[in-house]
Amino acid sequence: MRQLSSTLWVLIVLIGGAPWGLGHAAEPLPEPAIVTPAPPDNPTAPPSDAVILFDGKDMSAWTHTDGKPAGWTVADGVATAGKGDIISKHYFSDAQVHVEFKLPESGKGHGNSGLYFHNLYEVQIIDSHSANKFQPAQQCAGLYKKFPPRVNACKAPGEWQTYDIIFHSAKLDDAGKVVTPARFTVFHNGVLVQYNRPLWKGTGGGAKNKMISKGPLKIQDHGSPVQFRNIWLRPIPPVNEYTGPALSAADLKKQAERIEPRLPGLGPHPGHLPSDAVVLFDGKSLEGWSNDKWKLADGYMEVTRSGGNNTKAKFGDVQLHVEWATPSEVKGNSQGRGNSGVYLHGRYEVQVLDSFDNKTYPDGQAASIYKQYPPLVNASRGPGQWQTYDIVYRAAKYDAQGKLTDPGGFTVLHNGVLVQDHVINKRVGKTGPKDGKPITGHLHLQDHGNPVRYRNIWYRPLN
């Protein structure tokens, strides 16, 4: 192997990966645990490995900040803020967290509340739909006074909203000094609004609190009757992520672009798309694709042993949504059962496979980054059921001399379950274009000889 430069070795350490292209270690990869995802008709329901913090019945999983019982009212499956902040009895480190909230339609305070992770870092809750007079980093889904949301995906007061948050806690040395910052990736109503943002200390009301690596979730009572339901979390393994480019002072002052979010769940209907989405397949035609020999029926396209299919459109960094289904009739096993693939830029594969009760090599099962990373868990639904991939893809970056500065990578949710957690792309070239321009490419859907179906494919460009 040619010796890597010291700069690249530092980059490798920072992003927590081995040098790309080196292949696997000698030890066999462990089999991912099986997690049953939410049913298709209720995509935000807790997966089977979730810790339930609020199921609509009572506040038994919470206390007031003074340790007394939480005084919030519960009715019709909904908890309403009042009588002080509450903290969860459950303590966690790194986690995927799901919270649903609804802002009041009237009254003072702009529906103000907040989620405090470890009683340190606030993900803001406020009405940024009706009133947009706040500083950018104080808007809904802002990391309070530190990072504004990438876009304003807030729904109107009176509508239920979702936060799906990938949180990595700060890591401390023996002296209590922070050596790795906390990090946040946030989807607001299914729209990516924060990506891997680092926080070295608390924000807002948590700025002076002691730094910890394990702690509770606090929900703020800011005097507005904000309502909450369906709160759960999943522990996830710790990783060392690459931070990506930092925000400039100008970025921090910039108002987020307003977009209308839609339901991020299953279905081929246009109402499920964010307003800034670019539609690649709406179930009506194959006009935007290279292979018109695939079967088109009932809002889906199906592999027909006629070769793969490329989009005519190209893109760079994206949030990509794909829905797919393996054949309901089970034939074959391992890699011969419901096999296809979603290739970013036509090169890097997120595997599609019937991995429901179908043993294969871990880094070749559904939701693996093929032959790079097994999924964290196996979140597959059964044969014939529609499944979702929500993928954040960052392309490799090269400087004006063609030197690799950032290998890019993937974050993947399979049926709403985090399965790839800010992993780096190990198969990019160490040298690339010398024009310094962003790399773009097609989306490729693989023909592996199995009649896999696809529908409702769209992306959001991430500038």
Map out the domains of the chain as residue ranges: 6-30+262-461, 51-258
State residue 257's pLDDT score: 52
Assess whether pLDDT exceeds 90 at residue 121: yes
Same fold, 6-30+262-461 and 51-258: yes
Q: What DSSP state is assigned to residue 438?
A: P
Q: What is the pLDDT of residues 78-95, one digit of tens each?
A: 999 999 999 999 999 999
Which of the four pLDDT bands, split at 50, 70 and 90, describes residue 239? Answer: low
**The pLDDT of residue 463:** 74
Tell the residue number behind the tokens 């002072």, with chain if given.
249
Q: Which of 155-169, 191-205, 232-246, 371-385 has the lowest mean pLDDT?
A: 232-246
Q: What is the pLDDT of residue 108?
A: 64
Residue 354 neighbours by CB distance under 10 Å: 31
Judged by phi (left if over 0) then psi (alpha if -120 to 50, else beta), residue 396 lies in: beta
What whole-number distance in Å separates Cα of residue 284 and Cα of residue 251? 39
Determine the average pLDDT of the residues in 96-124: 91
The whole-number average pLDDT for the span 120-131 is 90
> So what's the pLDDT on residue 435?
84
Q: Which long-range contacts (CB under 8 A, 24 or more apart) does 304-310 make?
A: 304/447, 304/451, 305/447, 305/449, 306/447, 307/447, 308/444, 308/445, 308/446, 308/447, 309/444, 309/445, 309/447, 310/346, 310/442, 310/443, 310/444, 310/445
Region 179-207 average pLDDT? 94
Q: Which fold has domain 6-30+262-461?
A: Jelly Rolls (2.60.120)
The closest of 351, 460, 439, 461 to 395, measured between CA atoms, is: 439
Looking at domain 51-258, its CATH architecture is Sandwich (2.60)
- With 0.85 as the threshold, say if the pTM is over it: yes
In whole numbers, what is the pLDDT of the chain averaged over residues?
86
What confidence tier does 31 reach under pLDDT thresholds 50, 70, 90? confident
Helix, strand, or coil (residue 126): coil
| Lowest mean pLDDT segment, chosen from 199-203, 249-253, 382-386 | 249-253
> Which pLDDT does position 132 carry in this prediction?
59
Q: Which helix (H) or strand (E) holds 378?
A: strand 377-378
Instruction: Answer yes or no: are the C-beta atoms of 38 and 50 closer than 8 Å.
Output: no
Residue 14 has pLDDT above 60, yes or no: no
| pLDDT surpassing 50 at residue 265 | no
